[in-house]
Each structure stands twice: as C-alpha cells, then as structure tokens.
Amino acid sequence: MNRWLLCMGALLLSFSAALLAQQVTYDGHEFDNEQQRRTYEALIKELRCPKCQNQNIADSNAPLAEDMRERAYQMVMAGQSKQQVIDYMVARYGNFAHYKPPFNAFTAVLWLAPLVIALAGIIIALRLSRKRSQPVALSDEEQRELAQLKERSKHD
C-alpha cells in the first residue's frame, strides 16, 4: 500500500512539474510566461490592419496583418513594452494602425468630426422643427373656401 501511494505521489509530482515547465502558447506562438502572452494578445486586438476595412490584426487574414502579428510577437519576446510595439507600428503604418490614436494636430479630425457632425445634425433638426411649427396664414380666398366647407359640413 505504501509503495502504491509513493508511486502515485511521484507520478503526480512529475505531471505537475511538467505542467509548470510547459511554455504558454497562443496563435501558434510560444511565450516564456503568461504576461508576454497577455501583452501580445492585447496588442493584436488593439492594432488595426491598414489593408483591411476596420479590422484588427487578430481577426484579419491579410498577409500584412500576419506580418504585423509576427513583428509584434518578435518585439514582445525581445522584451519591448506594449507602448514600444504600438509606437513602432504607428511609425511604420501611421495612426490608422492603432485603434486609439493620440489627439494631436494630425488626428484632430478623427476625434472632432463625430462631434461636429452630431452638432450639425441637431442644429438642422431644430431649425426644421421650428419652421414646421409656425402656422401658415391663409389667404382671403382660402378663408372663404374654408368657411364654405364648414357651412356645408353643418348641413350634411
């Protein structure tokens, strides 16, 4: 019985050691630790494929997105931070490559255009509603016709 427990304990210990020594994998890439995997995963979801229409590099099958994923992996494995990888991709592909572009003179249109469009829509809607709410005065001829119609409806 003791021999059986000793064998089971050794077997359990070897399995747990193998699990601890196992490298973390994601997207076919191996990582040295969980933090690298999380950084890589966050990067490929936050970086946009310049070739695709509004798709991140994690979801894109374009060759350019594959190259960007590979470069992000290499940089993460080299110990570079998430921000360093983002800065590299923006320098290479422009602000479009990042879903959260910084607010500066070049990206002001990206940040302000939705606000300007919304305000313009509200102003147009208010002006149109004011024009409709003002009653239109009837001409003398129209008032006579209206009076005749009212008179006919009383007799019917």
The string of pLDDT tens digits covering residues 111-149 is: 788 889 999 999 999 888 877 666 778 888 988 998 888
Which amino acid, 70?
E
What six digits make up the tokens of 54?
């509004």
Give me the residue spans of the domains in the chain.
1-102, 103-156
Which of these, 118, 116, 86, 88, lies nearest to 100 by C-alpha position?
Answer: 86
Which of helix, strand or coil describes residue 134? coil
Predicted TM-score (pTM) of the model is: 0.55
What six digits make up the tokens of 130?
């004011």
CB-based contacts of 30, cutoff 8 Å, min separation 6: 23, 24
38-94 pLDDT, tens per residue? 999 999 999 999 898 789 999 999 999 999 999 999 999 999 999 999 999 999 998
Which pLDDT does position 25 carry in this prediction?
47
Which has the minimum average pLDDT: 16-30, 43-57, 94-108? 16-30
Q: Are 55 and 48 in contact (CB under 8 A)?
A: yes
Output the CA–CA distances (angstroms, integers) from residue 53 to 7, 75, 96, 146, in the order listed.
58, 25, 11, 59
- At 9, the pLDDT band (50, 70, 90 cuts) reads low
**Strand runs labelled E in the chain:** 24-26, 29-31
Give the whole-angstrom CA distance, residue 63 versus residue 65: 5
Architecture of domain 1-102: Orthogonal Bundle (1.10)
